[in-house]
Each structure stands twice: as structure tokens, then as C-alpha cells.
A = this chain, B = another copy of it.
Amino acid sequence: MEIARPYLLFLGDVPDDLAAKTAYGIVDWRRDWCVGQLRLPGCQADAKLPDLDIAAAVHAGARTMIVGVVNPGGVLPEHWVGTIVTALEAGLDIASGLHMRLGDVPEIAEAAARCGRTLFDVRHSREKFATGRGTKRPGKRLLTVGTDCSVGKKYTALALEKGMRERGLNADFRATGQTGIFISGRGVSVDAVVADFISGAAEWLSPANDPDHWDVVEGQGSLFHPSFAGVTLGLLHGSQPDAFVVCHEPTRTNMRNVQHPLPTIQQVIDATIAAGSLTNPGIRCVGIAINTEKLDETSAKAICAETATTHGVPATDPVRFGVDGIVGRLIEAFAEE
């Protein structure tokens, strides 16, 4: 699977920033690959790219239009179909991270065939997975986990990969969702795998490796999210992490899209160790990543310091303050092994 670059990011008319997190993630980590964004009237998101129509994007060199949004249920709204067909007719491929396959919409399938363009549904892996074995395999693994969905698990994993490489570690980001796949060009969307194979897909994603190699696995959902905890647990069991980092958004009061309060960081640490011990009894927390986007600098520093003291591990906002502390703790903790 090789998606042609550069990209035009399609945001549709999504109602808020969280719904556009796929597009934002691509821009944050691969700005050079993006020529612009295409938004429909009413769109409440902004990826801070030039607003281009399809003709202008093609003129700027775009080769693929990325449907860079997430919807509950992963459905493609009918009123977006016309824009996608126009893009195909203008010579662009289309790549989507929605559950619904682009080719299941007859107009899109027909236009792609007629124009000789390619449709990429990155949520739908063409791999055949085995069921998980649960047997410990060589190599080290770090997993990001969360108090909720959309709290920064992918950002944290990407920042850790970068920080670990800068410190000379042999580290690879392993994408488990659509944005991560767009950013790293490989991976598996674990939430789209058949339920029986969640942990098997996670085992496939981070195979046996050199003893000092680190896979930095992007977490999904939360053990405390009533919609997605099964995915989170299967990913935890299959990744069999040696280390994990808890990701948290301190201003959020309700879990994303449901009527449930957030768990505490300590609840997540305890539940992750309890469940993760099944496939790796050595599992330990090495840091806490706090998404302080909605706090001022002083409050952000204060909450990181307070959280570090409370839990006895480095706490940081990876975007604002970097991940040096967590990487240092990781190196220290595994130095003797």
C-alpha cells in the first residue's frame, strides 16, 4: 500500500476540531506532504493549510485527496460524495480512514473505475491475521494508553519515537489507526479488525525483534470507554508492552461521545498493569503525557509537576514541553536489562 503524495486534505463540514484529528495529525507530522485543505460550507475545523478547490490543488501538484475526518460509526455523509467524484474526475486518488469503504458507494466506485484512479481504505487491512498467542517474544515495546479516546496517544507515540531516536535508541512507531497509517505509511487499523483477531493483529504489527529494539505502539481507546474498551484490551494483550505511558486531557469531564465520567490516571495505571500482566508480567508505567492545549503555560507546568509528584514518573505535555523526561526514565529503567 503506497499512497501517492502530496495530499489534499478534505475536511467536509465536520462540526468540531476533534472530528478533524486525522487531518491535524497529518499536518503536524508531515506538513511537507500537504498542499492544502478543502472545506465545505459550515465546516468548523481548520487544518491551517491554504484553502484550495480541487482544480487549484491539482495545479499545486496534489495526487491524493485524504478524507481526513472521523465520524461516530465511520459513515461517509451522502453530501460529500459529489466532491469525491469531482476529485476523481480531476485525476486524484482518494484515501479514507472511515469504516465505510469508499468503493461501497456506487457513484464513487463507478467514477474511480471510469477515471482509472485508486481508492485506499486504510482501515481495512488486506492481511489475514491469526488469533493471538500471548507468548512473550523478543524485542521491547512501549504502548501509549489513555483515560479516553482522542487525548494524544498517537502524538505521544510519535514524539517518543522521535525523542528515542535522538537519544540513539532503535525505535519504530507502529500505527494502529488511520492517521498513524497516513503518517507512517504502514500499520493496521485495529478497531477495524474482526474482534477475534484484535490481539493477533497487534502481535503481527510488532513482531519479534532485536532485544534492544523498541516498538512504540500507538494506543487506541481506553480500558474505561464503554464503546471501545475491547479494542484497547486486545491491543494491550497483543502488544505485551514492557512500558506504557498514560495520556490524559485534564479539562475533559465526560468521555468522548458517551455519558461516562473520565477515570483517574491512577485507575488507568492500575487497570493497565492488572490486564497487561497477563502477557507481560514486567509491565510498568514510565510516564504520563498530559494534553494541556486548553491551559495557559503556568497551569500547564503546574499540572505536569503535580502529576509527576503524585505518580512518581515524569509527566509532560509532549507537544509543549517535549518528551526528554520520559525518554530519560525509559533509558534508566531498562539500562540494566
Contacts and interface: CB of A to CB of B under 8 A. Distances in A.
A132 B226 contact: yes
Given A72-B131, A258-B133, A260-B278, A195 B227 contact: no
A192 interface: yes
Interface stretch (A4-12, A155-163, A228-236): A228-236
Interface string A211-255: 000000000000010111111111101100000000000000000
B228 A196 contact: yes
Interface string A164-200: 0000000000000000000000000011111110111
A61 B274 CA distance: 53
A99 interface: yes
Interface of A is mostly: helix
A278 B226 contact: yes
Nearest to A259: B135
A196 B124 CA distance: 12
Between A99, A132, A196, A200, the greatest number of chain B beta carbons within 10 A of the residue's beta carbon is seen for A196
Contacts of A139: none
A328 interface: no
Contacts of A134: 226-227, 258-260
A195 B259 contact: no
Contacts of A198: 195, 230-231
Contact of A234 (B130, B194, B230, B274): B230
B194 A132 contact: no
Contacts of A72: 130-131
Nearest to A136: B259
A196 B231 contact: yes
Nearest to A271: B274
Contacts of A133: 226-227, 258-259
A194 B196 contact: no
Contacts of A278: 224, 226, 229, 260
Interface of A: 72-74, 99, 130-135, 190-196, 198-200, 224, 226-235, 237-238, 257-260, 271, 274-275, 278-279
